[in-house]
């Protein structure tokens, strides 16, 4: 059985491949939410997929079962799907991949995506990611990034990543692109580490905006903006009603970290070294307290 299934390669013009992977490099589900929003807004049909059998430990990434037509149960396996659009708003075609970070055979997995890219004539790959950081939710979302090509990095005003340490499938796939001679760039949204709600529409919107600027197109983001506004309002209300959390957020706002965050943190965990020895312990306490507070508010509303 073929790992990569291509139903039919669509007609494409100078296509760019955009990929996002759920898991380690997708804090708050922001990267995959952004990619899914692109697919939705561009009405991009699926044309290819990667079979999950070789890449997942199904006791960790479990398939789902659902009742179909009230008659029989259907299994839904972990999906790695590819969509294509040549919509009139786009100056060039987009191939959009939405997957899940695998547990097994990362080299083979990356090679399958590169095979698809080559068959589609892709010469530029754009990966999306999201990392947890010491940032105030009330501030605009910062988007860090890097590019494999120095001239592209200079045009985008991106600095080279200084990160060394464990990496995720985004890092491995970008390295595979480099080895294959395909130019790649990566954008990473900074997500507040004390808010674990997923998806984070505010961070997803920041990624979409960065992609629009980079690729010179505009789509209707009204729905995502409304989601981001409602998300901010909900978090603001919860924090305002808890003095300890409000004080912590004010501390982050006052600091308004001047340093940029290096992409590819060690997992989707808060970066080390910002804010002193007790900063992350306090941040973890804030996350637990915020989630508990939001659950209590929901329970109260359900009882009304």
- pTM score of the predicted model: 0.82
List the structure tokens of 109.
């997995």
Range 234-249 average pLDDT: 82
Range 55-74 average pLDDT: 88
Question: What mean pLDDT value characterizes the chain?
Answer: 83
Closest by alpha carbon to 11, among 99, 87, 97? 87
Which contacts qualify for 207-210: CB closer than 8 Å, 24 or more apart?
207/30, 207/31, 207/34, 207/128, 207/130, 207/143, 208/34, 208/37, 208/38, 210/143, 210/145
Closest by alpha carbon to 37, among 187, 188, 173, 199? 199
Higher pLDDT, 113 or 242: 113
Residue-level pLDDT at 266: 36
52 pLDDT higher than 80: yes
CATH number of the domain enclosing 201: 3.40.50.10900
Q: Specify the number of domains making up the chain.
A: 1
Whether the ω angle into residue 84 lies within 30 degrees of 0, i.e. cis, is no
Highest mean pLDDT out of 93-97, 226-230, 267-271: 93-97
Please name the helix (run of DSSP H) or strand (run of DSSP E) that holds residue 268, with its range, or none.
Answer: none
6 pLDDT higher than 90: yes
List the structure tokens of 103.
């547990």
Band (pLDDT 50/70/90 cuts) for residue 145 is confident
Contact 105, 125 (CB under 8 A): no
Domain carrying residue 197: 4-303
Report CA-CA distances (Å) from 115 to 26, 107, 108, 248: 24, 12, 10, 47
303 pLDDT higher than 70: no
Band (pLDDT 50/70/90 cuts) for residue 268 is very low
Range 153-166 average pLDDT: 72
Please state, in angstroms and rounded to a whole number, the distance separating the CA atoms of residues 83 and 36. 10
- Summarised one tens digit per residue, pLDDT across range 188-202 is 999 988 877 778 999
Please state, in angstroms and rounded to a whole number, the distance separating the CA atoms of residues 59 and 81. 21
Contact 296, 242 (CB under 8 A): no
Range 111-125 average pLDDT: 96
Band (pLDDT 50/70/90 cuts) for residue 298 is low
265 pLDDT higher than 50: no
């Amino acid at each position: 059985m073929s790992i990569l299934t291509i139903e039919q390669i669509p007609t494409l013009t100078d296509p760019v491949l955009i990929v996002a992977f759920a898991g380690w490099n997708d804090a708050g589900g922001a990267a995959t939410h952004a990619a899914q929003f692109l697919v939705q807004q561009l009405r991009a049909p699926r044309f290819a997929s990667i079979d999950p059998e070789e890449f997942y430990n199904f006791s960790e990434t479990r398939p789902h079962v659902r009742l179909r037509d009230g008659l029989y149960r259907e299994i839904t396996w972990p999906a790695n799907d590819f969509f294509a659009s040549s919509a009139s708003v786009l100056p060039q075609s987009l191939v959009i991949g939405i997957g899940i970070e695998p547990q097994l055979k990362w080299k083979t997995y990356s090679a399958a995506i590169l095979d698809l890219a080559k068959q589609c004539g892709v010469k530029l790959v754009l990966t999306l990611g999201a990392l947890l950081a010491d940032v105030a939710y009330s501030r605009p979302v910062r988007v860090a990034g890097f590019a494999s090509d120095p001239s592209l990095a200079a045009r985008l005003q991106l600095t080279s990543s200084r990160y060394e340490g464990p990496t995720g499938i985004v890092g491995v796939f970008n390295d595979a692109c480099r080895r294959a001679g395909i130019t790649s760039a990566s954008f990473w949204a900074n997500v507040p580490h004390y808010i674990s709600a997923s998806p984070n529409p505010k961070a997803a919107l920041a990624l979409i905006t960065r992609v629009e600027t980079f690729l010179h197109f505009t789509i209707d983001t009204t729905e995502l903006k409304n989601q981001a506004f409602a998300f901010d309002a909900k978090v603001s209300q919860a924090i305002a009603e808890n003095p300890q959390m409000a004080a912590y957020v004010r501390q982050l706002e006052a600091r308004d970290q001047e340093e940029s965050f290096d992409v590819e943190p060690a997992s989707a965990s808060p970066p080390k070294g910002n804010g002193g020895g007790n900063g992350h312990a306090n941040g973890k306490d804030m996350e637990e307290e915020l989630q508990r507070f939001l659950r209590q508010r929901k329970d109260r509303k359900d009882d009304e």
